[in-house]
Amino acid sequence: MVRSPNKWSYLAALLVAGMLLFAAGVPVQSAETKTLEGTISDTMCGAKHMETNVTPAECTVKCVAMGSKYALVVGDNVYELNGKADDLKKLAGAKAKITGSVDGNKVQVTGVSKI
């Protein structure tokens, strides 16, 4: 007697085939290495510092010490900067060129230089 496959075998085969087709059609999104130019600030203040009795550099360093992240303000965009904190601290409030992996509004910093 020949045994025929049951409906669960067909469903499993369809599920595997569907997963393979889906995986083949989904583009993989990865971070892109770029160089951005802007002003080093922090994510809490962005382009407008809240501390009015200190310089933008002092405000940035103070906010980062309280838990904010370094940021690069480029026009209306604010990019969160990760890595190279010592180099970013030296250029807080100044115009800088940042190189790194950009993923949306986050940058994994690989290089920092003053403009």
Report how many domains make up the chain.
1
Q: Could you tell me the pTM of the whole model?
A: 0.73
Q: 41-88: per-residue pLDDT in tens?
A: 999 999 998 888 999 999 999 999 999 999 999 999 999 999 999 999
Q: 77-113: per-residue pLDDT in tens?
A: 999 999 999 999 999 999 999 999 999 999 999 999 9
Domain presence at residue 8: no
More confident residue, 17 or 103: 103
DSSP H helices, 31-84, are 56-65
60 and 72 Cβ atoms separated by less than 8 Å: no
Domain presence at residue 10: no
Residue-range definition of the domain harbouring residue 80: 32-114
Of residues 92, 58, 51, 53, the one with CA closest to residue 72: 92
CATH number for the domain harbouring residue 91: 2.40.50.430
Domain presence at residue 50: yes
- Indicate the pairing of strand 32-42 with strand 70-74: antiparallel
Domain presence at residue 66: yes
